[in-house]
Amino acid sequence: MTDQHEPTTSQPRAPSEREIEAAHAIYTPRNLKLYDFVVHGFSNRFAWRCPTRALDAHYETNLSSNHLEAAVGTGFFLERAKRPGFDRLTLLDINGSCLEEAERRLAGYGPDLLQASLFDPVPVSQPYDSVGLTYVLHCLPGAMTEKLAVIDNLKPAMHGETVLFGATILGQAIKPNLAAKALLSTYNRKGVFHNREDDFASLAQGLRDRFDQVRVWQEGCVALFRAQGLGAGE
Ligand SMILES: C[S@@+](CC[C@H](N)C(=O)[O-])C[C@H]1O[C@@H](n2cnc3c(N)ncnc32)[C@H](O)[C@@H]1O
């Protein structure tokens, strides 16, 4: 699907510490053991109707050997990408348990770890050739315009040709089935998701405001994106 929707507008508002905490508190060591199966095994297929292989393909196409994975979770996609190696791989997450789990799985690549919030400027001095931002925007509190401030915080990690890619579950202009409706309702109530107002057009516009080359497309309830050429509009 192409970006045919009109962006929704909403009043900017800074997320509270409590909202930021709620968005990642669920990722305990115990829950992380179930995460891959629940999210990428079950929900992608039966609720979000975005096959995990579409996300795998996204990684295969866009992953470079100088990569930053922002909000790494368990490291699921990097592990499945089965790259022979990386010149430089950094795993970023606000949640220490996620970093531990992802480091364990990706130990063979000798990744650097960065425990940081995407709501703060990312403390890196050298840019990467690719940055992954998968399944985190829908968790973050705030309207799409506020969430996309995390891309501005990632600027120190990007040069003019860096590819930013990822995916996010939308809450607007989708046709959720019963499973998707139930998950959206539960996760938004618990503060794990904040995506009731997230729409395709606002995401696409926010990316176009920042990058020269933007591609956004939709699979089921999920928007996948690729953006390159940081500096648009500056
Ligand atoms: C739904 S998981 C996605 C994990 C992984 N990218 C994937 O696709 O499987 C969301 C991730 O975002 C992280 N996260 C949530 N809020 C964050 C923030 N403010 N800064 C950095 N990471 C955050 C969580 O700890 C968790 O690892």
What percent of the chain is modeled with pLDDT above 90? 89
Q: Which of 18, 21, 24 to mutate to test the pocket of ligand 1 (most atoms within 8 A of CB)?
A: 24
Mutational test site, ligand 1, from 136, 150, 224, max ligand atoms within 8 Å of CB: 136
How many Å lie between the centroid of ligand 1 and the Cα of residue 158? 19
Give CA–CA dist 201/203, Å, rounded: 5
pLDDT tens-digit map of 184-198: 999 999 999 999 999
**pLDDT per residue as tens digits for the range 67-117:** 999 999 999 999 999 999 999 999 999 999 999 999 999 999 999 999 999
Paired strand residues for 228: 163, 213
Per-residue pLDDT tens digits for 124-143? 999 999 999 999 999 999 99
pLDDT of 87: 98
Per-domain residue ranges of the chain: 17-230
Q: Residue 94: CB within 6 Å of ligand 1?
A: yes
- Of 93, 192, 195, 224, the one to substitute when testing ligand 1's pocket (max ligand atoms within 8 A of C-beta) is 93
Ligand 1 contact via 132 beta carbon (within 6 Å):
no
* Torsion over CA: 161, 167, 171, 175 (sign): positive
Distance of CA 16 from the midpoint of ligand 1 (Å):
17
Amino acid at 159: H
CATH (one of 3.55.30.10, 3.40.50.150, 3.90.870.10, 1.10.530.10) for 17-230: 3.40.50.150
Share of the chain above pLDDT 70, in %: 93
Sheet holding 128-134, edge to edge: 112-115, 88-93, 66-70, 128-134, 158-169, 222-230, 211-219
Ligand 1 neighbour 227 (Cβ under 6 A): no
Q: Could you tell me the two tokens for 97? A: 């348990």
CA distance 172 to 209: 21
Task: Answer yes or no: is the C-beta of 44 below 6 A from any ligand 1 atom.
Answer: no
Average of per-residue pLDDT values in the chain: 93
